[in-house]
Amino acid sequence: MVKQTIQIFARVKPPVRKHQQGIYSIDEDEKLIPSLEIILPRDLADGFVNNKRESYKFKFQRIFDQDAKQETIFENIAKPVAGSVLEGYNGTIFAYGQTGSGKTFTITGGAERYSDRGIIPRTLSYIFEQLQKDSSKMYTTHISYLEIYNECGYDLLDPRHEASSLEDLPKVTILEDPDQNIHLKNLTLHQATTEEEALNLLFLGDTNRMIAETPMNQASTRSHCIFTIHLSSKEPGSATVRHAKLHLVDLAGSERVAKTGVGGHLLTEAKYINLSLHYLEQVIIALSEKHRSHIPYRNSMMTSVLRDSLGGNCMTTMIATLSLEKRNLDESISTCRFAQRVALIKNEAVLNEEIDPRLMIKRLQKEIQELKDELAMVTAEQRTEALTEAELLQLEKLITSFLEDQDPESRLEVGADMRKVHHCFHHLKKLLNDKKIFGNNTVSNTVSSESKDQDCQEPLKEEEYRKLRDILKQRDNEINILVNMLKKEKKKAQEALHLAGMDRREFRHSQSPPFPPGNPEEGQRMRLSSAPSQAQDFSILGNRSSLLHKKTGMREEMSLGRQEAFEIFKRDHADSVTIDDNKQILKQRFSEAKALGESINEARSKIGHLKEEITQRHIQQVALGISENMAVPLMPDQQEEKLRSQLEEEKRRYKTMFTRLKALKVEIEHLQLLMDKAKVKLQKEFEVWWAEEATNLQVKSPAVNSLDHTKPFLQTSDSQHEQSQLFSNKSSGGWEVQGQGTGRFDVCDVNARKILPSPCPSPHSQKQSSTSTPLEDSIPKRPMSSIPLTGDSQTDSDILAFIKARQSILQKQYLQLLCSLSPKSAVSFAQPSTNRKGLSDVLVTR
């Protein structure tokens, strides 16, 4: 048993902007225990009414300042815990701090760089590395990922996540067995045999969490996430299994609701936004007080799940994440105070050993066999499981003569054989029962009761028959209903297909597939999987994160118009830079891996050749020895010496390259997962934006299907009016597509192509434009009511949202264009007299 208080560490997040000097300092006392001093600036300290202190000092096991690397955090905090988990003890690491202080960064890692990966991926890497090294035990690893939001538990790895909304998934609930052990119902455990598999599960869970999040449920700040590694180990031949769990916990933001700050009361103790954090604090207070018999674990789901981690069978570590900026000082102080209480809690970790029943049975069977053998040796006769026919007959005869013998002293001697003793008793019991039955004349009774049974079976059958008939009838009805539904669905689908066909015809000139086949990243994956044999296990990368890719597949269902809007949205999104950067790094890593794979193969064949050469030399020497009758020299000659040192060198090179390739593989894997996640995020944000556009539009024009279709598109202000005319009415030909065919999208500039559907006139329209028609004149005569609306409200709102989105993008682009143009042309551009040729010329020259 290991007794230990909860270890507390502090990590200070680098500031977004430069910190004011002197807000905090880190010192060590004479016993080298570090302490963090938070110094309140005068203006804040003055505000304290009851507690007029200017600085606060808190002790921690260690304090990691702003420049601490993720690797340092792992080495100092997580590695020792992972080590004890490998030995068979439970471990927990939890991050506590206000939103934005770096909990997720510390536990899971940053979303951009490989070097930013946090405790979870590094711990997985470390654990799997250790498991591979230790051949003395057999290990199995399982992963679970639980999210607790509003006191409800959700399984982040539930495969139904994709198809259902969070509310429809079965909730994870707590069950307690008679020994007060906690079990989580509906939380799936997934076996992970490699680091990659475990990493995939982590990213799958994170992606599921991100997708479930809506602006209304800011789950990432208000929910707790518990990533658990379940490790079992067993020595070969032993019946004892060790189980250990490692919880890596990203808690909800610890900030409080009220943060008045105005006129003082900076440290106002307000209610936690998060009830379960409040209960966590209560449990911590109860545990840190001596002589408290009742600990209120049951008050919340989180404290129930983490019961062992808090004052129980677990080695627990807390990381207090601090954002020491002036406006966050109050939260930081309360985080530190919480940590000080946590540090008082004593845990007692024991090895979790248990006997595997299957292995126990095997062991007992072996023992029985050994005892049987011993018995056979002592009695000098082999015993079978059961008695033979002859032995049974013999026994029964003995019993009969025993019963018939009138001598009260007579005995039934069967010998020291329990099988025979048992059989005698059974036989006697049978005889006694038979005598009872026959003695009471029960034979006839039995017969009559049997016939009675038969009688009453008849009505039963009748009843059953009726029931079955009813059920049959019900089923027939159900089938009829289903067939009707099916027919209706089919009809609907056909109609939709028809509409989709129209839709495609409309857009066919403006689109490129969302992920063109030439996508460099996909291409790289393909190429790598056909790389040389050493790099062959990279081929799993191709289908590696299929789970995540399934999610990004959402886009395939988008209509073409929506895809176009998505492409533009994607290009302008802040994350696209990160995605592009990562793509570049990934490309580099891929080519590095490929080159390494080739070098490894070279080294391997070189090793083969060198070995072959050495063997050849040996054979030659032996042959020479035989033919010249000379003894084969014992020591290798100089030439062989040289070959051997070359061989060693090659082997070393091979090993170094192989290790590098393995590391590269993990890095590539990680980068791909990061990118997948970023893509899902982008898509999600797009969906939200799209939905917003759609609702805005519906609000603005309740009667979308009325004759006045132009209404939603017309802007109110004059300048907007001009722009909208310029970019939607005129250029768009875009929206009166049915009649205009291919000419309208032949735009000169690739970029402008997406933005301006038809500023560049087709040869056929050129004539018209060259007559310097003022803009107003070129407003199409056909009104916007020619937009093909489908009558289906969802589809129509999609179409309208697309138009709106397109318009706003066009406007944005237009303004950018104006800004980038010379003042003169910009002015003339905005003037009504600007002609279409002028515009297209500008675009061509851009």
Contact positions toward ligand ADP, by CB under 6 A? 13-14, 97, 99-105, 110, 221, 253, 321
User: C-alpha angle 51/339/254, rounded to 5°?
Assistant: 80
Question: How far apart, in whole angstroms, are the C-alpha atoms of residue 158 and residue 146?
Answer: 10
| Nearest-approach distance from CB 71 to ligand ADP, in angstroms | 12
Binding flag, residue 323, Mg ion (CB under 5 A): no
User: Quick one: 101 or 223, whose CB is closer to ligand ADP?
Assistant: 101
Site string for Mg ion, 561-590 (x = CB under 5 A): ------------------------------
- Report in angstroms the alpha-carbon separations of 535 from 649, 661, 716: 21, 8, 62
Question: How far apart, in whole angstroms, are the C-alpha atoms of residue 292 and residue 310?
Answer: 14
Binding flag, residue 545, Mg ion (CB under 5 A): no
Q: Which one of 7, 84, 104, 223 is in contact with Mg ion (CB under 5 A)?
A: 104
Residue type, 730: K
Interface segment toward Mg ion; rule CB under 5 A; list 98-106, 205-213, 524-532, 668-676: 98-106
| Nearest-approach distance from CB 191 to ligand ADP, in angstroms | 29
User: Quick one: 102 or 761, whose CB is closer to Mg ion?
Assistant: 102
105 binds, among ligand ADP, Mg ion, none (CB under 5 to 8 A by kind): ligand ADP
User: Quick one: 332 or 740, whose CB is closer to ligand ADP?
Assistant: 332
User: Quick one: 56 or 203, whose CB is closer to Mg ion?
Assistant: 203
Instruction: Give bridge partners of residue 230 from the DSSP assignment.
Output: 142, 245
Give which of 722, 406, 672, 416 is closest to 525, Cα–Cα. 672
User: Quick one: 195 or 206, whose CB is closer to ligand ADP?
Assistant: 206
Interface segment toward Mg ion; rule CB under 5 A; list 100-108, 144-152, 367-375, 810-818: 100-108
User: Quick one: 103 or 670, whose CB is closer to Mg ion?
Assistant: 103
Contact 355, 389 (CB under 8 A): no
| Nearest-approach distance from CB 29 to ligand ADP, in angstroms | 25
Q: Among residue numbers 683 through 742, which ones bind Mg ion (CB under 5 A)?
A: none
User: C-alpha angle 774/775/776, rounded to 5°?
Assistant: 95
101 binds, among Mg ion, ligand ADP, none (CB under 5 to 8 A by kind): ligand ADP
253 binds, among Mg ion, ligand ADP, none (CB under 5 to 8 A by kind): ligand ADP
Question: How far apart, in whole angstroms, are the C-alpha atoms of residue 192 and residue 199?
Answer: 9
| Nearest-approach distance from CB 104 to ligand ADP, in angstroms | 3
Rg (CA), the chain: 40
Q: State which residue has the least CB distance to ligand ADP.
A: 102
| Nearest-approach distance from CB 680 to ligand ADP, in angstroms | 17
Binding flag, residue 61, Mg ion (CB under 5 A): no
CA dihedral 51, 53, 59, 62 (to 10 degrees): 120
| Nearest-approach distance from CB 112 to ligand ADP, in angstroms | 8
Q: Which two tokens stand for residue 57?
A: 């000092």
Binding flag, residue 321, Mg ion (CB under 5 A): no
Helices 275-288 & 329-342 angle (0-180, nearest 10): 40
The H-assigned helical ranges of 508-558 are 520-529, 540-544, 546-552
User: Quick one: 146 or 343, whose CB is closer to Mg ion?
Assistant: 146
Binding flag, residue 769, Mg ion (CB under 5 A): no
**Residue spans of beta strands (DSSP E) within 251-358:** 315-322, 346-349, 353-355
102 binds, among Mg ion, ligand ADP, none (CB under 5 to 8 A by kind): ligand ADP
Q: State which residue has the least CB distance to Mg ion.
A: 104
State in Å, rounded, how far the first CA of the chain is from the last one: 75
13 binds, among Mg ion, ligand ADP, none (CB under 5 to 8 A by kind): ligand ADP
Cβ-based neighbour number of residue 619 at 10 Å: 10
User: Quick one: 238 or 578, whose CB is closer to ligand ADP?
Assistant: 578
CA 134 to chain centre: 28
Give which of 658, 679, 646 is closest to 548, Cα–Cα. 679
Question: How far apart, in whole angstroms, are the C-alpha atoms of residue 340 and residue 251?
Answer: 17
Residues of the shown chain interacting with Mg ion in the complex, contacts defined by CB under 5 A: 103-104
